Chain A
Amino acid sequence: MSDHDILNPKEMPHDPEKATLEGKNKFIGFWFFLGGETVLFASLFGTYLALRNSTNNGPSSEDLFGLGLVFIMTMLLLTSSLTSVYAMYHMKNNDFKKMQVWLGITVALGLAFLGCEIYEFYHYIHGYEFTFRSSAFGSAFYTLVGFHGGHVVFGLLWFIALMIRNAKRGLNLYNAPKYYIASLYWHFIDVVWVFIFTVVYLMGVL
């Protein structure tokens, strides 16, 4: 059997993302990376918690945050997490088209989230003159939330690249692990957002 036949079996195994050694290695390695990402975000959360009252006479979190927009953003990201679960469900059933469609919906929801975040930052900068340099609170806020936004951008580019690159290939044992790991990354972005909306926004207006 050639490599091509091995990667394109007639019947997909039940866990296509872990059927090859490369897939298994990616799976373990990626969880290792997520452990490291947790520590990275913890350092940013810790910094934010320490500096959130150092407003340097500028706007405070109570002046700035509007919960309506944050609620919409939370719903968008949470729903996009579910749609990527649907995409992985179709991957396991070896239904490539449906997987691509659900990933497309995930990307659309992610873009909507990103649009809200850009609007939010624009509003703070131009409406309140609250920038990265305004205060220690400003630096900590934009670093933490901006880093999360950067992860969203990276996750979106990752999904789009996978979808375009494999559009004509279809699903096989070579790219199944890639899709699976991109969706893990997307769920992790939602995990971080749950703590951002709780610690930054909800605790910020209390």
Chain B
Amino acid sequence: MTENNTTDQLDYHKQKKKEEMKQQVITFVLMIVFTIIAFAMVQSDLDALFVIPIILVLAAIQVGFQLYYFMHMSHKGHELPALMFYGGVFTAFLCIIALAVLVWW
């Protein structure tokens, strides 16, 4: 009985990992598509002020995919890593704003 239970559990976990791997491949395809869109927009004759915000948003989405799917931040038990990483991101934001203001004021 217990023997059966553990094999069932193993199968269940194996299936779960397989599904996750599938999600990660889909994520990868989306990231490739976003990259191609960003490069294509820059090559086109669109206005720079229109293109820049869009490619920055595309980059942010790609990084989100990378963090949540490839680096497993969507899994349980990532509260502390998220706190530390977003703490770093917040400081990074302040840092870029400060340097930009210093130069362009």
Residues of chain A touching chain B, judged by Cβ–Cβ distance below 8 Å, are 14, 18, 27-28, 31-32, 34-39, 41-43, 45-47, 49-51, 67, 71, 74-75, 78-79, 81-82, 85-86, 89, 92-93, 184, 187-188, 190-191, 194-195, 197-199, 202-203, 205-206
In whole Å, how far is B94's beta carbon from the nearest beta carbon of chain A? 8
Of the residues A37, A50, A203, contact of B99 by C-beta under 8 Å: A50
Residues of chain B touching chain A, judged by Cβ–Cβ distance below 8 Å, are 13-14, 17, 20-21, 24-25, 28, 31-32, 35, 38-39, 42-43, 48, 51-52, 55-56, 58-59, 62-63, 66-67, 70-71, 77, 80-81, 84-89, 91-93, 95-96, 98-100, 102-104
What 3 pairs across the A-B complex have the smallest Cβ distances? Answer: A35-B88, A42-B92, A46-B99
- Cross-chain contact A42 with B93 (CB below 8 angstroms): yes
Q: Chain A residues near B31: list those with CB within 8 A.
A: 78
- Cross-chain contact A81 with B70 (CB below 8 angstroms): yes
Q: Chain A residues near B66: list those with CB within 8 A.
A: 81, 187, 190-191, 194
Residue from B70, B87, B100 with most neighbouring chain A CB atoms (10 Å): B70
- Cross-chain contact B100 with A46 (CB below 8 angstroms): yes
